[in-house]
């Protein structure tokens, strides 16, 4: 059995060049120990393009939190961090 851990990417920068949706793929893949290409489409749980646009248009003083279940993980996105909590298989 695998142990549930949380990976925090505290260096997340909303002004960065990589789209947030792509960063989420990488974070979930790292947490699960799989290739990002092996993950299901993010669009099954959240509109990645809308998420990218929302974050790109956010002001410096805006705080937000978006949470979803994706690929067996709880994903929490804030203005500074992506937290991935892999759930153990039942």
Kindly indicate the confidence band of residue 90, based on its pLDDT and cuts at 50, 70 and 90: very low
Give a yes or no: residue 2 inside a domain. no
Q: Please state the domain count of the chain.
A: 1
Give a yes or no: residue 1 inside a domain. no
Give a yes or no: residue 21 inside a domain. yes
Give a yes or no: residue 72 inside a domain. yes
Give a yes or no: residue 14 inside a domain. yes
Give a yes or no: residue 28 inside a domain. yes
Kindly indicate the confidence band of residue 89, based on its pLDDT and cuts at 50, 70 and 90: low
Are 64 and 79 spatial neighbours (Cβ–Cβ below 8 Å)?
yes
Give a yes or no: residue 30 inside a domain. yes
Are 79 and 14 spatial neighbours (Cβ–Cβ below 8 Å)?
yes
pLDDT given for residue 40 in this prediction: 95
Q: What domain range is 26 assigned to?
A: 7-86
Highest mean pLDDT among 12-16, 31-35, 58-62, 67-71 belongs to: 67-71
Kindly indicate the confidence band of residue 10, based on its pLDDT and cuts at 50, 70 and 90: very low
42 φ, ψ (degrees, to nearest 5): -60, -30
């Amino acid at each position: 059995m695998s142990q549930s851990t949380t990976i925090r990417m505290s260096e997340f920068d909303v002004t960065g060049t990589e789209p947030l949706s792509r960063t989420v793929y990488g974070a979930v893949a790292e947490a699960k120990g799989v290739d990002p290409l092996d993950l299901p489409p993010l669009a099954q749980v959240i509109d990645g393009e809308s998420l990218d646009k929302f974050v790109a248009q956010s002001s410096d003083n805006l705080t937000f939190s978006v949470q979803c279940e994706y690929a067996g993980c709880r994903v929490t996105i804030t203005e500074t961090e992506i937290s991935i909590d892999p759930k153990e298989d039942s």
